[in-house]
Structure formats: structure tokens, C-alpha cells
Amino acid sequence: MSLRRWGINTIEFIDQPGSQTADSAFSQKVRELSRSDLDRCYQCLTCSLGCPVAFAMDYRPNQVMRMVQLGQKQKLLESSTIWICAGCETCVTRCPNEVNILGVMDTLREMALREKVEGKEKVIPTFHQTFLYPVEKLGKQYELGMLLLLKLRTKDFFSDLGLGMKMFARRKLKLFPSKIKASKEMKTIFEKTRGV
């Protein structure tokens, strides 16, 4: 049975010779930071077949493992895959070789942000950073403020307005933010972990 039935091209376009220079320092760094022995991956495709969002990815999770081994840094850090991964842990649960696929995705996302790589997916990283803004300032999420800030940052003012109004009418969105007492501790936490 052909895997193409599921829209899976396993390795054809990532193993193209000369398509990109291998960056072995990058491979090594991902191994370390993801705390995952990703060389155990034997391309069984279990991760990609179970991944709920593989249909929307430019590279499937199994391809990502191969690309890390091959040191294809730029393609990976610019990919939409790393942001589309919803972190559902299905792949981690099912991988027969205990590869921490989600750990690899997280590592790649963090690298892309630290190296300020402009990738194909712009809104999702902006969302994550916007989500963390009230957490840093207040110690808690403040949905209404976060949503407005997200709209400003993404210049998308109209989507989900109706939904927002419905939530508001049902008092599902707090009007005012709440702040924890020890909000200074949040500042320290963010500062101390920023450079690590």
C-alpha cells in the first residue's frame, strides 16, 4: 500500500543531494536541547500518521527528524511545521523508539525565535509571545487584553468579533485584569530564563 494515500512523501525532497549544506553543529545542538536521542528514529512514520495536524504541515514529523539528522537548519527554522505542531503528545506517546518529537519541535521553535528567523508562519509565534506578555506583567492570563494586543500586532481586527461578543455577553471574558501579589517574582523568572 502506498503511503501517498495519506499524502505522505517520506523522504524524497529532503534527501536531495546538494539541496542544502548540512550543518552538523545544528544537529548536535538539537539533540542536546531536545534531550532526545533522535538518531533512534527509523522512519516508521507512526508519528506522522497519528499527527492530527500533519495535513497542514509543510514537513511531516518523521521528515523533521530526518532533516535534523541531516542538519537542514534553515529549512526547518523557516518551516510552518514547527509552529503548526499543536503539542498534543500523540507522537511522543506512540513512537516505538521513544523519540521526543515534541521536544524537538519545541527546540526548533525556540531556536527560530532566538535567531529571529522570519518563517512562513508569522501569526502563531506572535500569538505565543502575546500570550506570555500578561503572564510576565501580571502573573496571570488576561484574555481580553491579550486578544486586543494580538489583534493590534497581527493587524487582524475583524475575525472572531462575533464570537468575542458572545463570550463577553456570557461574562466569559474578564473586563479587568487580575494581578498576583508577588508579581515581582514573575519579572525575575522571565529575566533569569531569557538568556538561558
Partner 1 sequence: MKYAYYPGCSLESTAREYDLSAQAVCQSLGIELKEMHDWSCCGASSGHSTNYMLSHALAARNLAIAEKEGLDIAVACPACFLRLKHTRHAMMNSDELKAQMAESIGSRCEATSDISHLLDIVCNKVGIDTVKTKVTKPLSRLKVASYYGCFLVRPPKVVTFDDPENPQSMDILMDSLGADAVDWSGKVDCCGGSLALTRRDIVIKLVGELMNVAKGAGAEAIVTACPLCQANLDSRQGKDTLPVFYFTELMGLAMGLQGPKSWFKKHLVNPSGLLKSHGLL
101 binds, among partner 1, ligand SF4, none (CB under 5 to 8 A by kind): ligand SF4
Between CA 2 and CA 6 the distance in angstroms is 8
All cell numbers assigned to 141: 492570563
Is residue 90 a contact point for ligand SF4 (CB under 6 A)? yes
Q: Which residue has the cell 498576583?
A: 180
Is residue 84 a contact point for partner 1 (CB under 8 A)? yes
Q: Look at residues 101, 92, 83 and name the one whose alpha carbon lies nearest to residue 30.
A: 101
Between CA 133 and CA 157 the distance in angstroms is 19
Between CA 29 and CA 184 the distance in angstroms is 33
Between CA 121 and CA 78 the distance in angstroms is 8
Half-sphere exposure of 55 (CA within 13 A, CB side): 3
For residue 72, the minimal CB distance to partner 1 (Å) is: 21
User: What mask, x for binding partner 1 by CB under 8 A, covers residues 170 to 189?
Assistant: xxxxx---x-xxx--xx-xx
For residue 44, the minimal CB distance to ligand SF4 (Å) is: 4
Which of 14, 30, 41, 77 touches ligand SF4 by CB under 6 A? Answer: 41
The binding site for partner 1 (CB under 8 A) comprises 33, 52-53, 56, 84, 86-90, 92-93, 106-107, 109-110, 113, 123-125, 127-129, 131-132, 135, 139-141, 143, 147, 150, 159-160, 163, 166-167, 170-174, 178, 180-182, 185-186, 188-190, 192-194, 196
